C-alpha cells in the first residue's frame, strides 16, 4: 500500500516480497555501521521485517516504510515512524536507512521531510525524534536539514547517542 509519494520516491508499506532486497541493505556493513547490531544476516533481516516492521503496522498503524525509486522501481531504503523508549519515555522516532549505493543523492532528506509532514498531519503526535550516533555526521546532516535540533545526549541500549527532535509547531 502506497503511503505517500515525493518527486523521486514511492513510500509504501513493506511486504514479505521485499525480503531479499531489504536483506541486501541491512547486510551492508556501511549502511549498518552505526546500528545497534551491525550488519544483519539474511535470516536476521527477515526476522526484523516480520517481527519489527510488519508487526509495527499491526500494532500502531504505521512503521518503517519501503523507499522505492520511481526511476528504477527498486527498493533503495527504508524510513518511517517507529516507537522507541528513550530514558523511560515512549517516543516516536523517524528512523531511516538508505542503500550505500544511493548515498549523497538527497533521498534520506527527501523521505524524512515528507514523512515528517505526513506524520504531523495524520497522527496526533506533537514531537518526533531521531536517535543518532554522534559520529554519524551524514545522519545528523539529514536530521538538521529537515528541522530536527539536538535536544540532549543520552545512552540508548548502552550506546551514546544524540536525541534530535522536532515539534509539530516549530
Domains and CATH numbers, the chain: 2-167 (3.40.630.30)
Q: Is the pLDDT of residue 169 over 90?
A: no
- Count CB atoms within 10 A of the CB of residue 52: 12
**Spatial distance between the Cα atoms of 19 and 45, rounded to a whole number of angstroms:** 7
First to last CA, the chain: 30
- What's the pLDDT tens digit per position in 39-65? 999 999 999 999 999 999 999 999 999
d(CA 36, CA 2): 29
State residue 170's pLDDT score: 58
Average pLDDT over residues 16-22: 96
Does residue 1 have a pLDDT over 90? no
Cell of 146: 529537515
Q: Give the integer Cα–Cα distance in Å for 88 and 90.
A: 7
Among 125, 64, 65, smallest CA distance to 92 is for 125
Which DSSP state fits 101? Answer: G
Q: For residues 154 and 161, what is the distance between their CA atoms, to the nearest angstrom?
A: 6
The per-residue pLDDT for range 66-77, each reduced to its tens digit, is 999 999 999 999
> How much is the pTM?
0.96
Q: Is pLDDT at 91 greater than 90 in this prediction?
A: yes
**Residue 168 pLDDT greater than 90, yes or no:** no
Give the span between the Cα atoms of 61 and 125, in whole angstroms.
Answer: 13
pLDDT for 83 equals 96
Taking only the tens place, the pLDDT of each residue in 105-154 is 999 999 999 999 999 999 989 999 999 999 999 999 999 999 999 999 99
Total residues belonging to the chain? 170
The rounded percent of the chain whose pLDDT value lies above 70 is 99
Amino acid at each position: 500500500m502506497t503511503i505517500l509519494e515525493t518527486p523521486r520516491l514511492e513510500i509504501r508499506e513493506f511486504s514479505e516480497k521485499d525480503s531479499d532486497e531489504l536483506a541486501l541493505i541491512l547486510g551492508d556493513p556501511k549502511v549498518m555501521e552505526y546500528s545497534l547490531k551491525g550488519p544483519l544476516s539474511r535470516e536476521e533481516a527477515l526476522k526484523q521485517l516480520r517481527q519489527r516492521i510488519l508487526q509495527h503496522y499491526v500494532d500502531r498503524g504505521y512503521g518503517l516504510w519501503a523507499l522505492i525509486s520511481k526511476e528504477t522501481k527498486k527498493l533503495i531504503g527504508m524510513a518511517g515512524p517507529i516507537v522507541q523508549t528513550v530514558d523511560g519515555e515512549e517516543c516516536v522516532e523517524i528512523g531511516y536507512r538508505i542503500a550505500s549505493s544511493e548515498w549523497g543523492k538527497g533521498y534520506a532528506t527527501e523521505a524524512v521531510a515528507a514523512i515528517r509532514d505526513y506524520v504531523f498531519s495524520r497522527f496526533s503526535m506533537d514531537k518526533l525524534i531521531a536517535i543518532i550516533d554522534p559520529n554519524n555526521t551524514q545522519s545528523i546532516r539529514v536530521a538538521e536539514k529537515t528541522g530536527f535540533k539536538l535536544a540532549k545526549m543520552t545512552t540508548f541500549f548502552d550506546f551514546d547517542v544524540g536525541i534530535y527532535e522536532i515539534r509539530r509547531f516549530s
